[in-house]
Structure formats: structure tokens, C-alpha cells
Structure 1
Amino acid sequence: LLNGELPTAAALEAWEAELAEHTAPPAGIKNLLDGFHSDAHPMGVFLSTVGALSTHYPESKQIFDEDNRRTQVARLIAQAPVIGAYSYRRANGLPYVDPDPSLSFAGRFLGMLFGEPGAPYTPNPVLERALDILFILHADHEQNCSTSAMRGIGSSQADPFAALAGATAALYGPLHGGANEAVLRMLAAIGSVDNVPDFIRKVKAGEGRLMGFGHRVYKSYDPRATVIKAQAYRVFEVTGRNPLLDIAIELERIALQDDYFVQRRLYPNVDFYSGLIYEAMGFKPAMFTVLFAIGRTPGWVAQWQEMLRDKDQKIARPRQIYLGAGERDYVPLDQR
């Protein structure tokens, strides 16, 4: 995403070392996190802390210095999981666990989430790989709401921390980042496999919504959903089978055979199975969008960097068509 080509083995090793070097957040970030209420939503904590990094790295405003920009990109990608893990620990009343630079990107994140301070942590390889795949599949997906926000804010030449905080705020909205959580609520409401046909009937009658199906871009089966579904089975071999999986499989089976959904090109998307994996790994629904943000961070900064390198780029200024009243006479305040 950042360089336009897959890295060589040596380049990948150097990149991983660079991320490990920039993993530790600046002094004072933990104090900032401690200032949030214990019940603060992890996504609100995440976006606020990302924005605060702008004040810790004032040199990040030198956005046209290639070497400096590379450093800020590495900092954002490396520290996004740290901030996400710290927000999780804060919400659960647990002490912070510092990042272990010897672990992989996903393994380091799992260690900060589920490890103990000062104790070595060995991530389960199946969960580590599943999380890595989920991060990759969420990394970039053209001009969605949050990516457009990243580019729109970045077009004003704001620093990347400020721009990414804005992109995160866009993702925070339930119509963008909250879809996998909505899928879990839907599956829980269905209750059992036996209730799936009646639920399908209600959806077709306009009495309910089928969450996790359909996409603005994909008009066939979302290829990311295929990969995530396969990972779900592997994760459940470690964590135990999520009872909602059987409901999801039956829901998918019936919907894919029903002309109502096929004609409308409603197929499972990336959100349909991802929430089941996150829940099985021990995440509460409030963390799902934070996980989305961590995975999307490389794509956001790649889009931002691409925009800055465009010599024809100007500040974003969408046109607006006025549909209001025509000429209107001014009425003094005391006559209104």
C-alpha cells in the first residue's frame, strides 16, 4: 500500500524493525488515557489519543519532507495497536502492558491486550494469524466515508495524526464501522437455527433488516467474507465454537438460495463473520470498530501519502447546489 509493490524479504524485515522501533508511544500518553472515564467508549478514547499525538510530534507538520513523513507513517501504524490495546485495558480496569518489540505486529497487539505487565507472552499462532488476516482484509477499500475524510482533511495540509483522528471519527459512526456489531445483535435476536426461516420471512416483508449482506461495491459474494469464514472455523477450534455460527451459516444458506436476495445481489460481506471471530477471541463489541481502525490505518496513511504526491492536488472543496428560497427581504429583529 505504501510503496506500490510487495516487499522483498529484506525490505519486509527492515520494515518490521522500523515499526518495532516506533512502537512505544510518547511519555504522557498513559496519563492522558487515565483521564478518561472508565466506561468511556474505546473508539472515543482511540480517536482522541491519536489526535493528541499531533502535539507530541510537532515535526509531523512538515508533511512534504519525505524522510519525516516516512517516520510519521511508521509511528501511526506502529502505535495504533498500542493505543487500541491501552483503551481496551483501561475499559476493563487492567494495568497497561508495554509492547514487546520481539513479537510480530499482531502478536504484539495480542500481548498488550491479554498479557501481564513484565511477563513474557506467547500468542496462539492460530489467533495471531487470524488477526493478521483480518487487519490485512480491512486495510484499504477505495473511497469510503473514512478514507474520504482522511483525504479531505489531509488536503488542507493538516498533519497525519490530525487527519487520521478525523478519519477515525468518520469510522466511529454506526453506518460505517459498526456493521459487524449489528450482525451479532441480529444473530442473537434470531436466537436459534429454527428461527431463521421466520426471520427471513420478516426481512422480505420489510419487518426487519438482514445485516452483513450487500455492499456498495461488491454485487456478488464479497471475496473477503470467503477468507474470513475459513478463518472462523480455525479460530473456533482454539476458542470453542460460537453458537451464533450455526445461525449465521443457516442464514447464509437460505439467503443464497432465495431469489429475493439473489435478484437484489445481497451476498455476505466482510462484516458477516468478522464479529463472530472477534467475540470468540474475547473482544467486546465496543472494541470491534477499534480493531477496524487499526487495520485501516495503513490504508488511510497510504491514501494520504498518495494525495500529497499529486502535484495537481488542491484543498477539498465540494460544490453545493442551493435549493432554498429566492430573494428574501431582511426583517428587523423587533419585527420577527
Structure 2
Amino acid sequence: SALTAFNPSSVNVNSEEDMYNAIVRILGKFPVLVAWTMRKKMGLPLDYGDNSLGYVENVLKMMFKQPNEEYKLNPIVVNALDKLLILHADHEQNCSTSTVRITGSSHAGLFVSLAAGVSALWGPLHGGANQAVLEMLEAIKADGGDTKKFMAKAKDKDDPFRLMGFGHRVYKNFDPRAKIIKKAADEVLGDLGVEDPILDIAKGLEKEALEDTYFVDRKLYPNVDFYSGIIYRAMGIPVEMFTVMFALGRLPGWIAQWREMRLNKEPIGRPRQIYTGYTLRPFKTIDKR
């Protein structure tokens, strides 16, 4: 939202030139804000981009470069993050994308429309889902790491425990994105040789779910949030940054949806509400109450 104050022309949604400039500006600034947020959290000095590097390579460098040390890029990590950002780029009318469109339909500028999308992304059922997966894995570890116990709890309809990272509202079969990210997760874990009990618990849950008829019959397979959280943890990205990384990936999709809506001159969004309550009800005048 602050970018709007520094770039007042960005609110002119009737000018294609101003829209283009706003898009270029946010595509350049957003990854820097993401990287600097993480560096601030980790107590590291800010690091600047390198014009000789690509987009993903620059993101990794700005996030992880240590002071007074040359940062060495790992091609497997670069490839995995590239896939994560691409696969998160757009996914029809999800909660945050619809929020961007409904906000932009009032002729709000790009930056504030994106801010609305970021806010919608926050919840654990959307952008915070991969963070919720890691928090669930932490809870299983704290309880002793018995994955079979928690699989049984997930199948018990009277138990409030919910298995995060499995199933999808749209995909009634295996999430096609998850197949790609699973392979990337295997490559990252194999190359980095990360020894982490949380990742061991995740692999145990995955194995049991893929072999359990309860989950197979209901097509409750690991989804993109399950594997993306594992990759981010293996990379060394703090769990509090997972939703931020989701926003970085979804940014181009939000922009494309907003721009399409503006170029098509779509009217303001006005979802309909259908009343399903009482029709006629008896009424007592005030003197009879």
C-alpha cells in the first residue's frame, strides 16, 4: 500500500502506460521486499540484487548470502524454487485472486489490489496452508512422532484433529502440481542430505496415506501445500516466511487477472446474496409485547 503513496500515477487505471509502469515496478520490488523481510528476521544485513543473475537466482542470493562470503548457487535448489513459483503463479478464482479482482473492480490501483490479495492469502486454509502443514508436523513430533496414531485420529470423525496438506477443493484426484513438486522435493532432500525428524515424519505420513485405503478411496492425496512446505524447510526458509513465498509465486497471476479485468473494462464486482430465511412471520405491535 505504501508504494501507492510513492507512485501516485499507479492509481490511474485508465492509462495503459501507467498500468504497465506499475506492473514493472511491483515485479521488481516485490522479490526484494520478500528477501529483505527474511534477512531482517534472521538478523542479516540487507543484500542487493545482481544484474548478471536471473530472477530466481537473485531471490536466493538476496535471501541467503552471508556477509563477506560469496554465495554459491545450487542448481537443484534453483530449479526447485523456479518450479514452486511457476506452479503457484495462478490457480483460477481462489480466495486471494478473487479478492484482487473484486478490489480492482472498483478501479482501485494495482498496489492496493495486491495488498488486499496478500491479506486474503494469510489464512491457514489458503496461503498459510503449507505453514499449517509444518506446524502439524511439529505437533506430531512433540507428541512422540507416532504417525500411525495421527493417521487414526484423522480418520476418526469425532476427533478434532485435521490432517493438513491432503486433499483439495478442486482436484478430486491427485493434485497435478503435487506430482511435480514431490519430485523436486525428493531431489532437494537427496542433494542437500538434510537430516530432520520433521521431514522424516512428513515422509512417513505420505507413505501411509498413499497405502491406506481410507485415504486412497476418498482420493485424499498429498497436495501442493504438503510438499512445498517440506522444500522450503529443507532450503532453510523459516516457517513464518512460507506464506510470503506463496505471495511471491502468486504475484504474476494476481497481476495478470487484475490487468485482464481492467483491459476488458469489466464492471464493479457485486456478488449476489440470496435470502433463505423466513418469509412472512407473525408480528406483535409494541403494546402487545
Shared fold by TM > 0.5? yes
| Residue 281 (structure 1) aligned with residue 281 (structure 2) | no
The answer for the alignment partner of 1:298 in structure 2 is: 252
Q: Report the Cα distance in structure 2 between the residues aligned to 1:169 and 1:317, rounded to whole angstroms.
A: 20
Q: Report the Cα distance in structure 1 between the residues aligned to 2:28 and 2:99, rounded to whole angstroms.
A: 21
Q: Report the Cα distance in structure 2 between the residues aligned to 1:122 and 1:72, rounded to whole angstroms.
A: 32
Structure 1: gaps of 5 or more residues: 1-50, 332-336
Q: Report the Cα distance in structure 1 between the residues aligned to 2:42 and 2:202, rounded to whole angstroms.
A: 29
| Residue 229 (structure 1) aligned with residue 182 (structure 2) | yes
Deviations 1:100-147 (A, max 9, x none): 222111111111111246875442222112111110011000000000
**Alignment partner of 1:71 out of 9, 13, 21:** 21
Q: Report the Cα distance in structure 2 between the residues aligned to 1:56 and 1:254, rounded to whole angstroms.
A: 52
Q: Report the Cα distance in structure 1 between the residues aligned to 2:232 and 2:139, rounded to whole angstroms.
A: 18
Q: Report the Cα distance in structure 1 between the residues aligned to 2:25 and 2:17, rounded to whole angstroms.
A: 13
Name the SS of the counterpart of 1:235 in structure 2: helix
The answer for the alignment partner of 1:109 in structure 2 is: 59
The answer for the alignment partner of 1:91 in structure 2 is: 41
The answer for the alignment partner of 2:152 in structure 1 is: 201
| Residue 163 (structure 1) aligned with residue 113 (structure 2) | yes
Q: Report the Cα distance in structure 2 between the residues aligned to 1:329 and 1:126, rounded to whole angstroms.
A: 73
- The Cα RMSD (Å) is 2.4
State whether residues 44 and 66 of structure 2, in contact with CA within 8 Å, keep that contact through their aligned partners in structure 1: no
Residue 82 of structure 1 aligns with an amino acid whose one-letter code is V
Q: Report the Cα distance in structure 1 between the residues aligned to 2:248 and 2:264, rounded to whole angstroms.
A: 26
Alignment of 1:137-148 (within 5 A): 137-148=87-98
Alignment of 1:176-325 (within 5 A): 176-191=126-141, 195-206=146-157, 207=159, 208-241=161-194, 242-311=196-265, 313-322=266-275, 323=277
Q: How far 1:86 moved relative to its partner?
A: 1.3
Q: How far 1:154 moved relative to its partner?
A: 0.5
Number of residue pairs the alignment of both structures matches: 280
Structure 2: gaps of 5 or more residues: none
Q: Cα–Cα, structure 1 residues 317 and 278, in superposed 2: closer, same or farther, change >3 Å?
A: same
- When normalised by structure 1's length, the TM-score is 0.77
| Residue 174 (structure 1) aligned with residue 133 (structure 2) | no
Identity score, percent: 50
Q: How far 1:193 moved relative to its partner?
A: 10
Q: Cα–Cα, structure 1 residues 260 and 326, in superposed 2: closer, same or farther, change >3 Å?
A: same
State whether residues 149 and 166 of structure 1, in contact with CA within 8 Å, keep that contact through their aligned partners in structure 2: yes
Moved more, 297-306 or 181-190: 181-190
- When normalised by structure 2's length, the TM-score is 0.88
Q: Report the Cα distance in structure 2 between the residues aligned to 1:119 and 1:151, rounded to whole angstroms.
A: 43
Q: Report the Cα distance in structure 2 between the residues aligned to 1:307 and 1:58, rounded to whole angstroms.
A: 21
State whether residues 97 and 118 of structure 1, in contact with CA within 8 Å, keep that contact through their aligned partners in structure 2: no
Q: How far 1:224 moved relative to its partner?
A: 1.1
Q: Report the Cα distance in structure 1 between the residues aligned to 2:60 and 2:239, rounded to whole angstroms.
A: 17
The answer for the alignment partner of 1:151 in structure 2 is: 101
Deviations 1:200-237 (A, max 9, x none): 11111132211100101111111111111111122123
Q: Report the Cα distance in structure 1 between the residues aligned to 2:147 and 2:273, rounded to whole angstroms.
A: 45
Q: Cα–Cα, structure 1 residues 81 and 329, in superposed 2: closer, same or farther, change >3 Å?
A: farther
Deviations 1:305-328 (A, max 9, x none): 1111224x1111122234489798
Q: Report the Cα distance in structure 2 between the residues aligned to 1:202 and 1:279, rounded to whole angstroms.
A: 25
